[in-house]
């Protein structure tokens, strides 16, 4: 085996570490110090500044950054977006192959600590123009109004400083713009002014099986709201997008634009209105003036260090990179909440084997929903969860079987032969913030020389009770549907809350509009600002909040 | 329940049709075409041979006596390139170190249980060594610092994902999702499109 020191992990073109200081080099080498040369010392090279200051820089082009980028561009502002990952051509580049699609994930290593370490990578991250929406499942239920008031209703957790009523027009706008397919009327929550843009997608086998089991138990179900088109859809400023072809590969990237990832929706809209998109641009520094206002950012694009000056900065890197940038730059830290309040959705899955032919790779993975468990009558926990039928791609499923069932050898191969007869249900449940759950910067450095993020997560009593309740419910549904060999996979999804919003800078990083209490021209727009986790998938709310933040910002300029 | 039985070469036949996109074909074909012989670049020859032996028990392939689906090369290639999958258990050291320590630790278990090298054990004994590891409290000094359960989980998950990414393993479980063009039209229970096998 080669010497460990030869290659630094994660560095593809390693260089010999070189001691820059001649005196130190001489001391270490035990040589006489070189005589000072009579030439002018080389000046540190100035980072070339972009010629112009722009109105706004947006960091990150996922669900948090893309909607507001479009809004700001449409308002006539000069905007630049910096995205760490590349800009793909899905039709040409995206394979129907899980391994080949690994490039969609944020593959720099994050350290998962605590008793329930959070799987990151394909479970919980994204990179590229479109961010995590490139591989989100597109499951887009709205939260129910009381999701925003867990503390009011239960005396624990946090309330949102924004009400459902304030968010509602934005939910509606996003649903119509993305072309969300879903049931009208929607069976849970308050009546809506407008139905979904398109009828629901067809139910796949897992969804049909969940209907079968839930009906017997008196649990109401409905086709779910999904941000994938059940029919061709026209968007002003973008054109036609084609209908979903039931590939079932949402989590490995949609190749025909049917799924409403940001790269086929808000980003082309932003570009059409003059937004400047810079892919492969990794931000390292946020610069400030003496007053503490942000003046610009330094980033590395294709190996070259660059600077972009701006009047306002929108930080939209998600719940790991956003707090990491704040911590690295010692920015907006007064409240002490950056990195704290880390929450993750309980996402326990229950799998079963059926006599019927399922073929779980086909169709929108999350075809069905029930929110009857939003506030269960027999709950011994705070909050609640939703139920979702799930299809699954083979490599993802096999990995979970290995980790969760601990099968190996012939039993693993035998079990996997039932793949075409497997169907699952999972939950998405609320999570309470806890002092033990937080993100910090580790001593260990990544390939860029920056400290790796370390995420501490331990499910507390409330999450454990919710999981137990949910597992029992899902096992009952699968038994009623005729499943055998039922097993549960403990899992947590989405990282939330590491730069939370609130009413006061004493205990929150940003206000209800996403503006940092400490830094007047810094806004944060992503799931790091969520004060509570909500009992629904976060993408729709991230987008709605993003548009609201843009509007509040634009109002403030008047 | 009927286990899907594919006529030999199903995936290869599908790859030649318009049901598979160029990007998909390139990904799948590259695995079918991977040369059988592999010279390790990161792991030392002995360590690599041990990894191969461990992989052969975690994924026994008696049905492919001459051409098993290769599993160890993907691990060695990844470690060589220093690629990560986005996260690591904080309880484990960096992957290169974990693999080096863990494979050494497997030898320690073999010595403790059978006073022999892992490679010299019969399949049943090798399985006993791996079961001791899987159970989380194996004998051997390596496991005083390396979290056995987590190491086993990571090792097994990586080999499993490599195995089921291979088109012949996908054929084995009746998966033909790579042939998804122009669309799937029969997605309900007990339905199938014509190009899916029954």
* Residue ranges for chain A with pLDDT beneath 50: 1-24, 33-37, 39-41
Q: Is A106 an interface residue toward B (CB < 8 Å)?
A: yes
B184 Cα to chain A: minimum distance (Å)? 6
Residue indicated by tokens 């980003």: A267
Q: What is the pLDDT of residue A448?
A: 87
Asked whether the beta carbons of residue B86 and residue A109 sit closer than 8 angstroms, the reply is yes
**Contact B96/A9, CB-based, under 8 Å?**
yes
Task: Report the alpha-carbon distance of residue A509 to residue A516 in Å, rounded.
Answer: 6
Contact call for B172 and A12, based on CB within 8 A: no
Q: Give the SS3 label for residue A556.
A: helix
Which residues in chain A are contacts of B177 at CB distance < 8 A? 96, 247-249, 361-362, 393-394
| Portion 449-488 of A in contact with B at CB < 8 A | 454
Q: A297: which residues sit within 8 A by CB, 6+ positions away?
A: A57, A59, A82, A283, A285, A286, A287, A307, A308, A310, A313
Chain A residue nearest residue B27, CA to CA: A100
Q: Report phi then psi at A54, rounded to 5.
A: -105, 165
In tens, the pLDDT along B125-139 reads: 999 999 999 999 999
Which of A92, A98, A128, A420 to probe by mutation at the B interface, max B CB count within 10 Å? A420
Domain boundaries defined on chain A:
54-495+523-557
Q: Quick one: DSSP state of residue B162? A: H
pLDDT of residue A43: 53
Q: Which residues of A54-76 are buried (b: 16+ CB within 10 A; e: fewer)?
A: bbbbbbbbbbbbbbbbbbbbbbe
Contact A359 B196 (CB under 8 A): yes
With respect to residue B12, please indicate whether it lies within any of the assigned structural domains.
no
Name residue, tokens 């200051």. A53
Specify the pLDDT at position B129: 98
Q: Write out chain B residues lying below 8 Å of A121, CB-based.
A: 85-87
Q: Nearest CB to A255: which of B21, B28, B161?
A: B21
Please report residues of B whose CB lies closer than 8 A to that of A124. Answer: 86
Domain range for residue B159?
Answer: 42-171
pLDDT in tens, A198-255: 999 999 999 999 999 999 999 999 999 999 999 999 988 789 999 999 999 999 999 9
Residue B8 included in any domain = no
Q: Judge whether B83 is closer than 8 Å to chain A, CB to CB.
A: yes
Note whether A350 contacts B: Cβ–Cβ < 8 A.
no
On chain B, the residues whose CB falls within 8 A of the CB of A117 are 89-91
State the best of A128, A365, A408, A492 to mutate against chain B, taking most chain B CBs within 10 Å.
A408
Cβ of residue B12 closer than 8 Å to a chain A Cβ: no
Please report residues of A whose CB lies closer than 8 A to that of B173: 394, 416-420
Q: Quick check: B43 and A358 CB within 8 A?
A: no
B188/A249 touch (CB, cutoff 8 Å), yes or no:
no
* B30 belongs to a structural domain: no
Do A241 and A228 form a contact (C-beta atoms < 8 A)? no
Please check whether residue B100 touches A, CB under 8 A.
yes
Most B-contacting residue of A91, A116, A394 (CB-CB within 10 A), to test interface:
A394
DSSP A139: B
Q: Which of A299, A377, A239 is nearest to A59 (CA)?
A: A299
A420 contacts in B (CB within 8 Å)? 4, 173-175
Q: What is the pLDDT of residue B11?
A: 87
* B153–A contact, CB cutoff 8 A: yes
**One-letter-per-residue 3-state SS of A447-512:** CCCCEEEEEECCCCHHHHHHHHHHHHHHHHHHHHHCCEEEEEECCEEEEECCCCECCCCCCCCECC
Nearest-by-Cβ selection for B23 from A94, A395, A421: A94
Q: Is the peptide bond before A306 cis (omega within 30 degrees of 0)?
A: no
Burial class (CB in 10 A: 0-12, 13-18, 19+), A183: middle
φ, ψ of residue A294 to 5 degrees: the values are: -70, 135
Whether residue B31 lies inside any domain: the answer is: no
Domain count along chain B: 1
Residues 58-97 of A with CB under 8 A from B: 92-97
This prediction's pTM: 0.92
| Complete DSSP assignment for A417-430 | TTGGGEEEEEEEE-
pLDDT of residue A447: 84
Could you give the angle at the alpha carbon of A241 between the alpha carbons of A255 and A92, nearest 5°?
25
Beta strand A451-456 with A110-113: parallel, antiparallel or unpaired? Answer: parallel
For residue B9, pLDDT over 80 is answered with no
CB contact (8 A) between residue A110 and residue B173: no
Assign 3-class secondary structure to A401-416.
Answer: HHHHHCCCCHHHHHHH
B108 part of contact set with chain A, CB < 8 Å: no
Position A52 scores a pLDDT of 86
Taking the Cβ of residue B13 and every Cβ of chain A, the question of whether any pair is shorter than 8 Å is answered with no
pLDDT value at residue A124: 86
Rounded Cα distance between A235 and A176, Å, is: 9
- Which tokens go with A32? 């006489």
Q: How confident is the model at residue B1 (pLDDT cuts 50, 70, 90)?
A: very low
Report the distance separating Cα B177 and Cα B179, nearest Å.
5
Query: If DSSP codes are grouped into helix, strand and coil, which group holds residue B87?
Result: strand
CB contact under 8 A, B94 and A9: yes
Q: Which tokens hold the place of B181? A: 């063009």
Judge: A247–B180 Cβ closer than 8 Å, yes or no. yes
pLDDT by residue (tens digit) across B61-92? 999 999 999 999 999 999 999 999 999 999 99
**pLDDT for the residue A3:** 41
Q: Nearest chain A residue to B128 by CA: give it.
A: A409
Q: Which pLDDT does position A48 carry in this prediction?
A: 63
Query: What pLDDT, on the 0 to 100 scale, is given for residue A329?
Result: 97
The answer to whether B29 contacts chain A (CB < 8 Å) is: no
Residue from B56, B189, B198 whose CB has the most chain A CBs within 10 Å, to mutate = B189
Residue of B nearest to A126 (CA): B86
Q: Which of A117, A319, A413, A453 to mutate to probe the B interface, most B CBs <10 Å?
A: A413
Question: Across the A/B interface, how many CB contacts are shorter than 8 Å?
Answer: 210
Q: Which residue of A has its CA nearest to B46?
A: A1
On whether any CB of chain B is under 8 Å from the CB of A503, the answer is: no
Does residue B5 fall inside a structural domain? no
A127 in contact with B at a CB cutoff of 8 Å? Answer: no
Give the phi and the psi of residue B158 in degrees, each rounded to 5. Answer: -65, -45
Residue B108 CB burial class (10 angstroms; 0-12, 13-18, ≥19): middle
pLDDT tens, residue by residue, B136-176 = 999 999 999 999 999 999 999 999 999 999 999 999 999 99
Query: CA of B21: which chain A residue's CA is closest?
Result: A95
Chain A, residues 528-547, CB within 8 A of chain B, namely: none
Architecture of domain A54-495+523-557: 3-Layer(bba) Sandwich (3.50)
Judge: A118–B60 Cβ closer than 8 Å, yes or no: no
């Amino acid at each position: 085996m080669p010497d460990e020191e030869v290659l630094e992990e994660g560095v593809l073109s390693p260089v010999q570490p070189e001691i820059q200081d001649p005196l130190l080099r001489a001391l270490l080498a035990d040589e006489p110090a070189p005589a000072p040369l009579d030439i002018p010392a080389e000046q540190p090279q100035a980072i070339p500044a972009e010629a112009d200051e722009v109105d706004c820089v947006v960091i990150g082009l996922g669900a948090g950054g893309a909607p507001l980028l479009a809004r700001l561009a449409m308002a006539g502002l000069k905007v630049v977006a910096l995205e760490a990952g590349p800009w793909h051509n899905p039709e040409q580049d995206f394979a129907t192959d899980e391994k080949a699609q690994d490039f969609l994930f944020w593959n720099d290593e994050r350290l998962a600590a605590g008793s329930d370490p959070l799987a990151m990578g394909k479970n919980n991250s994204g990179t590229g123009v479109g961010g995590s929406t490139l591989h989100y499942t597109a499951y887009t239920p709205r939260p129910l109004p009381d999701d925003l008031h867990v503390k009011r209703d239960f005396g624990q957790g946090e309330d949102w400083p924004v009400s459902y009523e304030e968010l509602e027009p934005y939910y509606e706008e996003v649903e119509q713009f993305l072309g969300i397919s879903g049931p009208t009327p929607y069976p849970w929550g308050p009546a809506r002014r407008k139905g979904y843009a398109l009828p629901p997608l067809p139910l796949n086998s897992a969804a049909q099986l969940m209907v079968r089991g839930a009906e017997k138990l008196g649990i109401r179900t409905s086709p779910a709201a999904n941000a994938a088109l059940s029919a061709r859809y026209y968007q002003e400023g973008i054109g036609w997008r084609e209908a979903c072809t039931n590939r079932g590969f949402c989590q490995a990237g949609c190749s025909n634009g049917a799924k409403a990832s940001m790269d086929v929706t808000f980003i082309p809209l932003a570009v059409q209105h003059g937004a400047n998109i810079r892919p492969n641009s990794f931000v390292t520094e946020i610069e400030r003036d003496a007053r503490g206002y942000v003046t610009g950012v330094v980033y590395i694009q294709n190996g070259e260090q660059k600077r972009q000056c701006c009047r306002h900065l929108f930080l939209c890197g998600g719940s790991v990179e956003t707090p990491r940038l704040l911590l690295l730059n010692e920015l907006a830290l007064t409240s002490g909440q950056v990195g704290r309040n880390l929450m993750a959705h309980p996402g326990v899955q229950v799998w079963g084997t059926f006599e019927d032919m399922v073929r779980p790779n086909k169709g929108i993975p999350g075809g069905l929903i029930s929110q009857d468990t939003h506030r269960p009558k027999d709950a011994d926990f705070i909050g609640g969860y939703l139920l979702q039928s799930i299809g699954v791609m083979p490599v993802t499923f096999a990995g979970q079987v290995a980790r969760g069932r601990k099968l190996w050898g012939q039993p693993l191969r035998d079990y996997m032969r039932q793949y075409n007869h497997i169907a699952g249900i999972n939950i998405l449940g609320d999570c309470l913030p806890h002092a033990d759950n937080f993100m910090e910067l580790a001593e260990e450095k990544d390939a860029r020389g920056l400290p790796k993020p370390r995420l501490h997560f331990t499910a507390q009593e409330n999450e454990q009770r919710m999981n137990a309740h949910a597992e029992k419910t899902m096992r009952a549904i699968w038994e009623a549907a005729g499943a055998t060999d039922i097993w549960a996979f403990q899992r947590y999804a989405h990282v939330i809350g590491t730069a939370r919003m609130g009413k006061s800078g004493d205990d929150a990083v940003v206000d209800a509009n996403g503006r940092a209490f400490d830094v007047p021209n810094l806004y944060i727009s992503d799931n790091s600002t969520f004060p509570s986790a909500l009992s629904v998938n976060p993408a729709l709310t991230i987008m709605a909040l993003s548009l609201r933040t843009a509007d509040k910002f634009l109002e403030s300029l008047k | 329940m009927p286990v899907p039985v594919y006529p030999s070469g199903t995936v290869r036949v599908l790859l030649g049709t318009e049901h598979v996109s160029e990007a998909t074909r390139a990904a799948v074909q590259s695995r079918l075409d991977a040369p059988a012989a592999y010279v390790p670049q990161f792991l030392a020859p002995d360590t690599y041979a041990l990894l191969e032996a461990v992989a052969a028990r975690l994924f026994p392939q008696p049905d492919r006596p001459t051409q098993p689906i290769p599993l160890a090369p993907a691990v060695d290639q990844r470690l060589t390139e220093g690629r990560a999958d986005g996260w690591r258990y904080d309880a484990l050291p960096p992957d290169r170190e974990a693999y080096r320590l863990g494979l050494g630790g497997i030898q320690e278990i073999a010595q403790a249980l059978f006073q022999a090298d892992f490679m010299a054990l019969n399949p049943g004994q090798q399985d006993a060594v791996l079961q001791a590891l899987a159970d989380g409290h194996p004998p051997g000094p390596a496991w005083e610092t390396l979290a056995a359960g987590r190491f086993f989980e990571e090792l097994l998950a990586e080999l499993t994902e490599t195995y089921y990414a291979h088109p012949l393993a996908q054929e084995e479980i009746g998966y033909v999702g790579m042939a998804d063009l122009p669309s799937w039209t029969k997605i309900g229970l007990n339905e199938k499109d014509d190009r899916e096998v029954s």
